Each structure stands twice: as structure tokens, then as C-alpha cells.
Structure 1
Amino acid sequence: MLHHIHYLDKKSAAFLSEALIKHFSKKTDYTEIVVVCIGTNRYSGDSLGPIVGSRLFERLEGNRHVHIYGTLDKPVHALNLQRTLSYIANRHSQAYIIAVDACLGQFYKIGTLQLVEEPLQPGAGLGKQLHAIGHIHIKGIINNHGPLNHKVMEHTSLTFVNEMAAVISRILVKASQEIIPHLLSVNPKDNQASS
């Protein structure tokens, strides 16, 4: 299922965080949340994921239930994606995984945030065959899809990308705060059983 809304819509954070929480609640046997933010810090258009990751790291650092992969300092991209996914599979085997990435789309959809209830296929818009990521993913349409996609990614407004990243970060922080009490590791029944 696809949920979409423009990032400037005042209801965007509430709308997409609610859809994310509903998706999580369909199967609640997760012990933690992992957010994988895909992209690079070399092109403004492709920096959406790492900017989101850095913002989340600032907001959620120290929270033992949420793990962020892909920041401006340590981006997750095509060259290290497989290694990162192997690490996540070994270290976070029962995690609810949310992927974040930038994408290109039709001109009239620029600025739209999409929450898609299936794994992310990173690099698809640039013809790359990379491993799918996550139980669900958020994409931000940052520019127009066309014959020169690499050039478009290079020449996207960083201010625009930053604004979109701020909204995605709010969505993920809000959803995480709602989801954390329902993770298996913090279930009150589990705590009573262990005491």
C-alpha cells in the first residue's frame, strides 16, 4: 500500500506517522527499530537519507530501542550497502526496519513524501540492482525524472532537501515514540515475568 502527501502539507507528519504505526501494529513481534537512511553526502539530491539519519541521530541518540544507519558522517550507499545489511541482519535480527531514500519522479510530484508498505529497492531510478531493504520505506521525490538523472541529483536545492528531511525526521521520531512501548523488549508483561 502507498500513502503519499506533500511535505509542505501541515498534516504530513501526523498522516504518515499514523500510517507507519498502523503498519507496525499488524505484526508486533519486533524487539527494536532500525532506520536505514540511504544516500551519499556528495550530491545534494542524494543527501536526503543521510540528512534524515543525522537528524534522527541527534534526536534519538542514546535510545537503546532505535538504531540509525546512514548519516552525513557515515552514509550508507551502493558501495557499503551489502556489508551494512549483513551487519544489521546479524545484530538486529528481530528489528522493524524502516528505509529512507530520495527518488526522482514526475514534475508535478516533486515534494511528495511516499510511505510504501514494502521493502525499498535502492538505486532503481538510476538503473542500479541493489538489495531490497526494510519492512516499509519512506521516499522523498526531490526532483524530476529524466534522461540525465545523475545531473538532476547533483543540481537539486539543498535547502529543499533539508526542509523535506526535517519533515521525514518528525514522522520517524513521532512514530518511534508510539512504537517503542509495543516492542517485545519493553513489553510490561515481559518485565513482570523477569522480576
Structure 2
Amino acid sequence: MMHHSHYLDKKSVAYLSEALTSHYFKNPDFTEIVVVCIGTNLYTGDSLGPMVGSRMLERLEGHRHVHIYGTWDKPVHALNLQKTLAHIAQKHSRAYIIAVDACLGQYFKIGTLQVVEEPLQPGVSLGKQLPPIGHVHIKGIINNHGPLNHKVLEHTSLTFVQDMSAVVSRILVKASQDIIPGLVPQQASSMDQASDSLSSSS
């Protein structure tokens, strides 16, 4: 299922954060939240993810329930994606993972934010084959899809992407705050795993 709203719509933060929260509570069996913000700081059109990650870090750095990968200083992109996902799988084995990325789309959809209830397939518009990410993802349509996608990414307005990243980060912070009370306590999770181990050995 997909939920969408234009980033300038004043109801977009409430509507899309609620979509993320509702998706989580369909299967509330996670101990923490991991947000993976995909992109690079080399092209303005592909910098939405790192900008969102940096904005979230300003609000949530050090929060024990929310972990952010992909910022302006430490972006997550095609070259380090698999290594990052392996690290997350090892360190955050029971995390609810939200992926964030920019994408290209039809001209009249530019500025639209989409919450999609399935893993993100990064790099599709550029023909890249990268592993899927997340239980759910949010993406922003930053420019028109066409035959010169790399050029489009280079010539996307930085101010536009910055403004969109501010809205996306507010959506994610709001959703995280609403999800945190419904997370499974870490201690209870450890006890459940110990119980499962005893059951399988008896």
C-alpha cells in the first residue's frame, strides 16, 4: 500500500507519520527503530537522504531507541550499502527499519512524498541493482524522470531538496515518537530469546 502527499501540504506531516505508525502497529514486534537514509552529497538531486539523516540526528542523536544511518558527513550509497546493511543486521537484529531516498517521477508529481509499505529498491531509476532495504520506506520525488537522469540529479534545486528534507525529517521524528511506546522492551526480548533457546534444546 502507498500513501502520498505533497511536501507543501500542511497536513503531510500528520498524514504520513500516521501511515508509518499504523504500518508498525500491524506487527509491533521490534525493539528499536533504524532509519537508513540513502543518497550522496555529490549531487543535489540525490542528497535528500543524507539531508534527512543529518536533520534527524540533530533531534535524536544518542536516543537509545532510534538509530540513523546516512548523513551529510557519512552518507550511505551504492558503494557502502551492503556493508551498512550487514552491520545493521548484526547490531540491530530486531529493528523496525525505515528507508529514505529521493526518486525521479512524472513531472506533475514532483514534490510528492510517498510512504510505501514495502522494502525500498534503491537506484532503480538509474538502472542500479542494489539490495532491498527496510520494512517500509519513504521517498520524495525530486525531479522529472527522463533519458538523462544523471544530469537531472546534478541540476535539481538545492533549496527545493533542503525544504523537502525538513518535512521528511519532521515526519520521521513524529512517527518515531509515536512508535517508541509500542516497541518491545529490550529486556523482554532477551528473555524471549532465552526461552526459545531452552524450548528448542529440551
Relative to the length of structure 2, the TM-score reads: 0.92
| 3-state SS of 1:134 partner | coil
Structure 2 CA distance for aligned equivalents of residues 153 and 63 of structure 1? 33
Q: Give me the whole-angstrom Cα distance separating, in 1, the residues matched to 2:114 and 2:183.
A: 25
Give 3-state SS (helix, strand or coil) of 1:99's partner. Answer: strand
Q: Distance in 2 between matches of 1:62 and 1:126?
A: 34
Runs of 4+ in 1 over 6 A off after TM superposition: none
Aligned to 1:145: 145
Letter in 2 for 1:146: G
State the Cα RMSD in Å: 1.2
1:115–1:138 CA contact under 8 A, matched in 2: yes
Q: What is the Cα deviation at residue 62 of structure 1?
A: 1.3
Tell me how far 1:120 sits from its aligned partner: 0.1
2:101 match: 101
The code of the aligned residue for 1:102 comes to: A
Matches within 5 A, 1:117-132: 117-132=117-132
Match of 2:8 in 1: 8
What per-residue deviation string (whole Å, max 9, x for no partner) do you get for residues 44-92 of structure 1?
0000000000000110011000000000000000000000000000000
Equivalent residues in 2 for 1:38-187 (5 A)? 38-185=38-185
Q: How far apart, in 2, do the equivalents of 1:146 and 1:62 lie?
A: 41
TM-score (norm 1): 0.95
SS of the residue corresponding to residue 74 of structure 2 reads coil
Question: How much has 1:186 moved relative to structure 2?
Answer: 6.7
What amino acid is aligned across from residue 81 of structure 1 in structure 2?
L
Contact (CA 8 Å) 1:180, 1:186: kept in 2 or not? no
* Matched positions, count: 189
Q: How far, CA to CA, are the matches of 2:115 and 2:180 in structure 1?
A: 20
Q: After superposition, give the CA deviation of every residue in 1:105-132 in whole Å (9 maximum; x if it has no partner).
A: 0000000000000000000000000000
Instruction: Provide the secondary structure at the position in 1 that maps to 2:47.
Output: helix
Equivalent residues of 1:4, 1:114 under 8 A apart: yes
Supply the distance in 2 between the matched residues of 1:81 and 1:174 (Cα, whole angstroms).
Answer: 26
State the alpha-carbon separation in 2 of the partners of residues 124 and 104 from structure 1.
Answer: 10
Which SS does the other structure have where 1:184 is aligned?
coil
Return the alpha-carbon distance in structure 1 between the equivalents of residues 92 and 62 of structure 2. 16
Q: Distance in 1 between matches of 2:12 and 2:79?
A: 32
Distance between the aligned counterparts of 1:10 and 1:81, measured in 2? 33
Largest Rg, 1 or 2 = 2
Deviations 1:6-33 (A, max 9, x none): 0000000000000100000011110000
Aligned AA (1:16): L
The letter of the residue matching 2:55 is R
Gaps of 5+ in 1: none
